[in-house]
Structure 1
């Protein structure tokens, strides 16, 4: 059989018209049916492209210049957008971003789940899709003897030292990173050197309460002993009254993982507090807490609407984390059972229930796929099950446990349309029907999309 060579060669410069966009935000152009994926290309545009990689069935290109621009192309407001890679869609109008995310969900359901004719609602966006992140963790390095902070360049561990601001991060957090760096620099605290595993300050993490405006600073260090630490703490706390907590996390491992195992409070409280709707949350250095509280409220309101609670229902919240959804559900349900594999998250969930004086929510440590069949054997029959799994989706055993329990409704909160589609297929084959899916833009300017699906027993 004759091998057909790709119609393009590496390093060739060609004219391409983009027909589509991938879920990673790359433009898709075709040359005699051969797809070429090009970052920053938008559908409908024509452009000069340099071919940089050729595979048997597809290739990759680099955008040289657009010869016919899309009306949806905008100038990215970030000064390091093309170096950084933290955001992928700043060159695209916000309307187009929301549309792209809806299409991504719709196409995943069709192609992966083979589920047709489901209403996928327009993506719920933000009025102001900037400055939304309530948590930032920034690497620290050094250049010409001075401390520098900035995100890594795409596919590298080189710090972008001319990064002025991160415009999807809360302004207070941005300013706090600058302050910690400048004070530490003045006091002679060394940056961590990844190559030689020397030095001290690895990362600066800042968390802030969207409603309460309380701030926590976490210094991630290689060593427990840090010279001039008291001077650093003194200067920060005297200048900024909104700082409620300064924490040290010690990570002595040669690793890309940011946080180490040991954490200690250096000044102030172990927690800062924030609110979503009328629920209050205690947030520690290691707590999982949604980074965009404005959109989290919209997501959870939709999950509550789909759960359709009257006050008499028993609800299971699998993958309950620190109890965020559970506590919303508990306001409307008779009883909520939350289960989560991370023990620290469950102790946070219990604290949060106490904080809000919610007594009809119970939390258990364990794998949902093992705990739920045991609950079923004890005679627990939920009316509604809510799942909010990690990116890899639900464990298959959990899906089968849900089908066995036969709740009237399942509400699936997803951060990955592909695994959502795969899991919906299993539930549909088990006698359920997907009624509606609502995408929510939790991470504007990036390709990530969250959504919530309503699934009912046929």
Structure 2
């Protein structure tokens, strides 16, 4: 096997100008035409980087020093921002983050989607880009002879501890401390990924923006919660804890939640409100993590849908029915499809408690359910709203959407790469992209949400 030939040598230090930011927030530059990825570098900066890994076409470097800083560089508010994998862009001003995300969407739509004449609007940002998340997932691990609760370090499952996370609800620190005390007093072990031994795997909390109440879920590698009375006694000292659940996950997997859920105290869900519509949200159901931006997101979806009250709408990947129920207030009928059964149960309950009766929900994979609704049940839709996971839409789903022949498709995306791919498909099938509106659901991180209006070409 021949040696990799590159103009750089491992462990040597090189001067480099950073040209771009990668999908994971790393700076990208070239040394003699050879691409290097360097954590912490910003576009326009001249840096010294130590090469730590050399590949055939690109390598990775460690930032040694900044010779010429970017005017957008700021000092991170979090002391472990450079170690933790949660916030990749705290060293970039918030204005710089919004520009980066707009450019990211624009470039991917042009490069992958081959849509060169599309205008991407400036990103809708936050007035206060901190403490915005309504959900946190803490891994619990045994490291260095003691239990650690925190977040994963970049590109690893090593735990980074912090006294405060600046994108989460600060009350989580109280919850974390009480659970750690409960573990210590009762000999509760932490999970070990290598041996698949140990009891507590994750702590998951979710709070309601409207009521401020919080639900706590412990993910365990076991059949029942040990010393549950002690845990309940500790957590219920906090007046904002409305419920406690246990999730059983005995699988050898990186998936956080298992399928079996046991409720040990209080409410089985949290209740939140968007635009006067109430939502019951169970621990297994998806709900947007940034409530302030979620209201802006849904408002833009409704605007793009352009409802008059006479339309039938399909809401694909509907989750707990959050978009479906808001659309139903302005549409003739809404049909929601979601693969997670617990989410559909929440959606049906949410429709009931809000007195909304012009919605139907179907459980199953969208790429299987939507073709069946069209082919077998002859269902049609004037408008389709689709909000897929990061992998985007399966081609069979896109093909079914085209056959349904809606006047408008509102595509909500959390990954501009798969969005661009899917827009290319739709553009080749008689649709055009009218509006592209990015929205910042994840300040301090690299991800960006995008709402796109796609219309049928006459």
TM-score, with structure 2 as normaliser: 0.94
Matches within 5 A, 1:359-438: 359-377=357-375, 378-438=377-437
Cα shift at 1:81: 1.3
Q: Which whole-Å CA distance do the structure 2 matches of 1:247 and 1:171 have between them?
A: 21
Q: CA deviation at 1:144?
A: 7.4
Distance 2:191 2:414 in 1: 33
The Cα offsets for residues 238-285 of structure 1, whole Å up to 9 and x where unpaired, read as x11221101111223333322223211101121111112222111112
Identify which range, 125-134 or 253-262, moves more after superposition: 253-262
Distance 1:369 1:53, change over 3 A: same
Q: Which residue of 2 aligns with 1:34?
A: 34
Structure 2 residue runs without a partner (length 5+): none
Superposed, 1:28-427 pairs within 5 Å as 28-142=28-142, 147-161=147-161, 163-237=162-236, 239-377=237-375, 378-427=377-426
Moved more, 402-411 or 105-114: 402-411
Separation in 2 of the partners of 1:131 and 1:104? 24
Cα distance in 2 for residues equivalent to 1:147 and 1:385: 48
Q: Residues 373, 199 of structure 1: CA spacing in aligned structure 2 closer, same or farther, 3 A cutoff?
A: closer
C-alpha distance in 2, partners of 1:291/1:253? Answer: 26
TM-superposition CA deviations, 1:358-400 (whole Å, max 9, x none)? 1111101123333333333444331111111111111111111
Q: Name the structure 2 match of 1:442.
A: 441
Q: Which runs of 5+ in 1 are unaligned?
A: none
User: Deviation at 1:7?
Assistant: 2.3
What SS does structure 1 have at the residue aligned with 2:452? strand
Return closer, same or farther for 1:315/1:185 CA change in 2, 3 Å cut-off: same
Q: Assess, with a 3 A threshold, how the Cα gap between structure 1 residues 223 and 107 changes in structure 2: closer, same or farther.
A: same
Per-residue Cα deviation, 1:263-322 (whole angstroms, up to 9, x for no partner): 111011211111122221111121111111111111111111000001111111111111
Aligned counterparts of 1:263 and 1:415: Cα–Cα separation in 2? 27
What SS does the aligned partner of 1:166 have?
coil
Asked whether the 8 Å contact 2:217–2:283 carries over to 1, the reply is: yes
Taking the aligned partners of 1:323 and 1:422, their CA distance within structure 2 comes to: 26
Write out per-residue CA displacement over residues 391-441 of structure 1, whole angstroms, 9 at most, x where no aligned residue: 111111111112112111110001111111111111111111101100011
> How many angstroms does 1:151 deviate by?
1.4
Q: Deviations over 1:164-197 (max 9, x none)?
A: 1211111122321222222332343333344444
Deviation for aligned residue 1:157: 2.9
Distance (Å, rounded) in 2 between the aligned partners of 1:117 and 1:306 = 20
Q: Give the superposition deviation at 1:353.
A: 0.9
Q: TM-score, normalised by structure 1?
A: 0.94
| CA RMSD across the alignment | 1.9
Label 1:282 to 1:427 Cα distance change in 2 as closer, same or farther (>3 A): same
Could you tell me how far apart the structure 1 residues matched to 2:24 and 2:341 are? 34
Between stretches 421-430 and 142-151, larger displacement belongs to 142-151
Residues 135 and 289 in structure 2, CA contact (< 8 A), matched pair in contact too:
yes
Using a 3 Å threshold, how does the CA distance of structure 1 residues 113 and 144 change in structure 2: closer, same or farther? closer
- The count of corresponding residues between Structure 1 and Structure 2 is 454
Give the conservation status (yes or no) of the 8 Å contact 1:244–1:269: yes
Query: Judging changes above 3 Å, is the alpha-carbon distance between structure 1 residues 222 and 21 closer, same or farther for their aligned structure 2 residues?
Result: closer
The alpha carbon displacement at 1:23 in A equals 2.7
1: CA distance between counterparts of 2:65 and 2:415?
Answer: 32
Please, which moves more after superposition, 65-74 or 398-407? 398-407
